[in-house]
Amino acid sequence: MPSKNPETKTEYSDQSISSLKGADRVRLKPSVMFGSDGLEGCEQSFFEILSNSIDEAREGYGKKICVRVFRDMTLEVEDFGRGVPLDWNEKEQRYNWELIYCELYAGGKYDNRKNGSYKFSLGTNGLGACATQYSSEFMDVVSRKGQFVYSISFKEGKPVTELSKEPAPSKSKTGTLVRWKPDIKVFTDINIPLEYFISTLKMQAVVNAGLEIELYYEFPEAEDGSSPDPYRETFLYKDGLTEYVCELTHQRASDIAESEKQEEAEISEDPDDAEDSDAPDAGKNLTLPVFIQTECTGKDREDQPEYDLLINAAFCFSTRYPKIEYYHNSSFLEHGGSPEKATRAAFTKVIDAYLRNNGKYQKADQKITFSDVEECLVLVISSFSTYTSYANQTKKAINNVFIEKAMTDFLANRLEVYFAENPADAERIATQVMINKKSRENAEAMRINLKKKLSSSLDISNRVEKFVNCRSKDPKKRELFIVEGDSALSSCKLGRDADFQAIIPVRGKTLNCLKASYTRIFKSDIIVDLLKVIGCGVEIRSKAHKELADFDLNSLKWSKIIICTDADEDGFQIRTLILTMLYRLLPTLIKEGKVFIAESPLYEINTKDKTMFAYDEKEKTAILGEIGNAKYTIQRSKGLGENEPEMMWLTTMSPATRRLIKIMPEDEEKTFDMFNVLLGNDLHGRKRFIAENGHNYIDLADI
């Protein structure tokens, strides 16, 4: 649309074109270099400095790196390599400190294919050190190289001192120390969390076997002015990938295969017997970790020069701990690229061939997909090459044609050999993949029907049996009461405020969703009805079932979901089963504080003037103390179905007088462990829990 005031616009002429110079090339456009001007970009700037130390260690110069994070988010990386060159460069006729820290596209890693200073390196573009210096509030560099100690300082992208060159103390170690602070004027957030450092340094220790990385992290001051003790951790994986895969699958590197008697017992003869294979506590390790390695040379195109490729990989198969990670030149490939394509092609091809050659497919069976393999595969690949085609400076994907082809051939060949040498393992893997295939196909078959059920609107043609809706359409006001049985439905219906309170009864005890498969869960009318009324879909943790119904918190029809059961053993069990269902199928509702328990009173205490309710023995004693010598009657509260409407409103439904227990999210791992002990397949854990804690509940036991 033409401007109404064209005369107010600056003329677009030859003088309108300008260029950013010096530090402004990064300080004004940090996302170009680091992928983001926020916290993620700040984290990438740290990794640029760390990667230089990693490259030194991988070439055999130094076996230790120290990372220090101070309270004001000043960062420090120290290595014990050869020391970064900072002195005069005769070839370039400039100082190296200027080339490395003040010049983009300058570095010592451009000639890796020609026996340069580095064979395999994370740094390839000559950008990281300079870009990080430009984006820093300050940076101090100290290099212990040869017989001298060099140092120089920068501020906001510019040098503020001359290069210092002093004789090194006798017997001092060589190496580099870089100390800097990311500039809050460049990044919107510089408070890199401890979890990032732990994750990043751990992964670097994994893919660089034998490298020791020390972390020192100072926490911010507490609100009361106290200073928590610093966090310290050392990361060291002597066996690299193999040790890491053992850690992921809770195995030991010294483990040996189980006896032949147990091997055959572990193999499910019929993939159709896998009904509970997607229950969250199901799973086992099918094989022990295997380490494979190769080196080769090739080119991406005939007219291009050759480069070297080193592939390290460790894998095993596990139904409980599936995980796939790719690294190249120590950089985590979040988006995969060539290694991911190679993995998908190789594993699918070899396992499909095994299934065909061993008669595992039925006549009408479709070919397996990689998702069937991925459900039980633990694989970590760490590759290195003297030339790498990264997607961008953040190095989260590579697209080398030769790497993809070489890795595909290598993985396929080694997997074929592994199957030939380990027939029992091959049989277990094939059977599990067929189980995953069957599970995926069953999920796909029910997907459309379930989506239709959960996403359709509630009307006269699609109503839920005995569901009593409310008049309000405002999700911020509406409340859903899940009550125990038809009798409670009647009492709650008469005692509610029909404007904003809706009720749905559950008939008897619901399915234990922690032990049941998704197939069984979604055959339960009670559960499907509950999900349909709640209205926000379902969260599926199994990849085979992830498309059953899209979860959308914005589609939630209620401000509160209130579980309302009797205060007896049956009521507690029904409440627990409903909570289990929500924990497995709709955990976000718990995290968002949408789930509540309506607390039922234990005692009804009547005097001449009023009625009072006690929710526990302590409260009963307190009420009786207040009454004193006045006459009163006391009785155990009835079940919800026996209560008068007025009492239901007063004790359970009135926002002014009721008592609700908000279900709060706790540590996810601890929550899972406790659910698994009490309601899952961990029978030994349940027996142990009862033996250790049963005496605390003996008075409540119905014996």
3-state secondary structure of 698: helix
Give the global pTM. 0.67
Least-confidence region, from 15-29, 127-141, 455-469: 455-469
At residue 325, does pLDDT exceed 90?
A: yes
Instruction: Give the containing element (helix H, strand E) for 578.
Output: helix 569-585
Count of CB atoms situated within 10 Å of the CB of 317: 26
Task: Check residue 123 and give its pLDDT.
Answer: 58
The mean pLDDT value for 45-64 works out to 93
DSSP 37: S
Beta bridge partners of 165: 150
* Residue-level pLDDT at 364: 86
Distance CA 537, CA 531 (A): 7
C-alpha span between 545 and 214 (Å, rounded): 41
The C-alpha atoms of residue 584 and residue 605 are separated, in whole angstroms, by: 39
Query: H-type helices in 323-422, by residue range?
Result: 338-357, 370-374, 401-421
Task: State the average pLDDT for the chain.
Answer: 85
List, in sequence order, every residue forming a beta bridge with 159; answer none if it has no partner.
154
CA 436 to CA 441: how far, in whole Å? 9
Tabulate helix, strand, coil % of the chain (nearest 5): 40, 20, 40
Structural tokens at position 166:
């002093």
Question: What digits encode the pLDDT tens for the residues 545-602?
Answer: 554 557 889 989 999 999 998 877 788 888 889 998 998 889 899 989 999 999 888 8
Counting every residue written for the chain, the total comes to 703
Which DSSP helix (H) or strand (E) runs through 68?
A: strand 64-69
Of residues 274 and 222, the one with the higher pLDDT is: 222
CA distance 52 to 30: 20
What order of strands is seen across the sheet that includes strand 611-614? 611-614, 603-606, 633-636
- Percent of the chain whose pLDDT exceeds 90: 52
**pLDDT higher than 60, residue 272:** no
Q: Locate 237 and state its tokens.
A: 């994986």
Residue 327 three-state SS: strand
Give pLDDT tens digits for 459-472: 544 568 889 999 99
The span from the CA of 35 to the CA of 33, in Å, is: 6
| Stretch (H or E) spanning 626 | helix 617-627
pLDDT of residue 340: 96
Nearest to 539 by CA among 553, 527, 526: 553
pLDDT tens per residue across span 200-215: 999 999 999 999 999 9
Across 636-658, average pLDDT: 83
Q: How confident is the model at residue 519 (pLDDT cuts 50, 70, 90)?
A: confident
Close Cβ partners of 546 (under 8 Å, ≥ 6 residues apart): 540
pLDDT tier at 261 (50, 70, 90 boundaries)? very low
- In the chain the domains, ranked by start, together with CATH numbers, are 24-237 (3.30.565.10), 243-442 (3.30.230.10), 446-601+660-700 (3.40.50.670), 603-653 (no CATH)
Nearest to 604 by CA among 589, 587, 619: 619
Instruction: Give the model's pLDDT for residue 75.
Output: 98
Show the CA angle centred on residue 582, arms to residues 576 and 586, nearest 5°: 165
**CA diameter of the chain:** 105
Contact 419, 308 (CB under 8 A): no
Higher pLDDT: 278 or 446? It is: 446
Question: In sequence order, which residues have a C-beta less than 8 Å from that of residue 347 and are 6 or more positions away?
Answer: 370, 373, 377, 411, 415
Q: Given the structure tokens 């007088």, which residue do they identify? A: 657
pLDDT of residue 87: 93
Asked whether residue 608 carries a pLDDT value surpassing 60, the answer given is yes
Q: Are strands 479-484 and 501-506 parallel, antiparallel or unpaired?
A: parallel
Contact assessment for residue 640 and residue 600, using Cβ atoms and an 8 Å cutoff: yes
Sequence-distant (≥ 6) Cβ neighbours of residue 185 within 8 angstroms: 27, 137
